[in-house]
Amino acid sequence: MTNTGLDLELGYKDKWGDLGFDGSIIATTGKNTIDKIAEGINYFDANGGSRIGAFNRSMVGHSMGEFFGYKVIGLFQSAAEVASSPTQDGAAPGLFKYQDTNGDGKIDATDRVFLGSPLPKLTYGFNLAFTYKEFLTLPLSSGVHMETKYITGTLGGLISGHHLQDRRVQIFCTKAGHQPIQNTDIPKATSLSNFSTNTQSTSFYVEDGSYARLKNLQLGYTFPSSLMSKINVKALRVYVQAVNLFTITKYSGLDPEIDTQGGNDQIRGVDYGNYPAVKQYIIGLNLTF
């Protein structure tokens, strides 16, 4: 593999009387490319352990563990549209319509495409510390990358008892005559579990996982050493702290900051519904004798 990118760090520190500032910005860009796997092998798939099978494909010329599957180009709106479209197993009004990538008039495994990379294009963070006499504040924000929403599912996923990422049941609305309402990407509620519903890796499950999170915000006070020396204390500091105070993201899952399951880089970015980052409020005291 070849990994290329740019690491950048900018820092500034100064003091103006009782007011002080210490700040830094860190940014990293990255691009991963697989150059060679083995003689006669051009790619391999990684199975994350679900009914859908492999989400991620590692292939020469691409990055490690890119999302791979069928591209959803809409929902079938009528039986007539099903009949006039490329042959697709389980096709019915209100279900997924896949892209016929090779144009051969049928939907099969050869029509699958790369759907995006879970590797971050940009990771950033900044530290800002302000001091006024003995007061200190320290906020930190970090992170941008892509993930997948895994299985938010059709109703078939709920009935069959399989894992649902966020326990939502997505309903496909209908009107008189049972004709699907247009301008929606939500498939209809059905007990079917087949090629056109929820048994394949598709673009429906992949979304932008970019986010910004305030990881740490702290306000503290250090008592003057001249005062502490009178009670034989070397240093005393009290503080209040907030951890994971807020997250800015359009990701629909529980937490965009998804770690690789079991440390396996081949299935990075797959959301298995892990418990999200916990918001914490802490009161602390540092005492040095």
- pLDDT tens profile 75-97: 999 999 999 999 999 999 999 99
Residue 175 has pLDDT above 50, yes or no: no
Tell me the pTM.
Answer: 0.78
Segment 55-60 shows an average pLDDT of 93
Do 62 and 34 contact (CB within 8 A), yes or no? yes
Q: Looking up tokens 């009178």, which residue turns up?
A: 230
- Give pLDDT tens digits for 200-231: 999 998 888 888 888 888 888 888 888 877 88
| Residue boundaries of the structural domains of the chain | 71-111+152-197
> What residues are paired with 287 via a beta bridge?
236
Opening angle at CA 269, ends 263 and 274, nearest 5? 75
CA distance 255 to 271: 9
Query: Residue 226 belongs to what H/E stretch?
Result: helix 225-228
Q: Which residues contact 15 (CB under 8 A, 6 or more apart)?
A: 21, 131
The dihedral through the CA atoms of 107, 110, 112, 113 has a sign that is negative
Upper half-sphere CA count for residue 216 (Cβ side, 13 Å): 11
Distance CA 177, CA 261 (A): 45
Please answer whether residues 56 and 66 qualify as being in contact, where contact means their C-beta atoms are separated by less than 8 angstroms.
yes
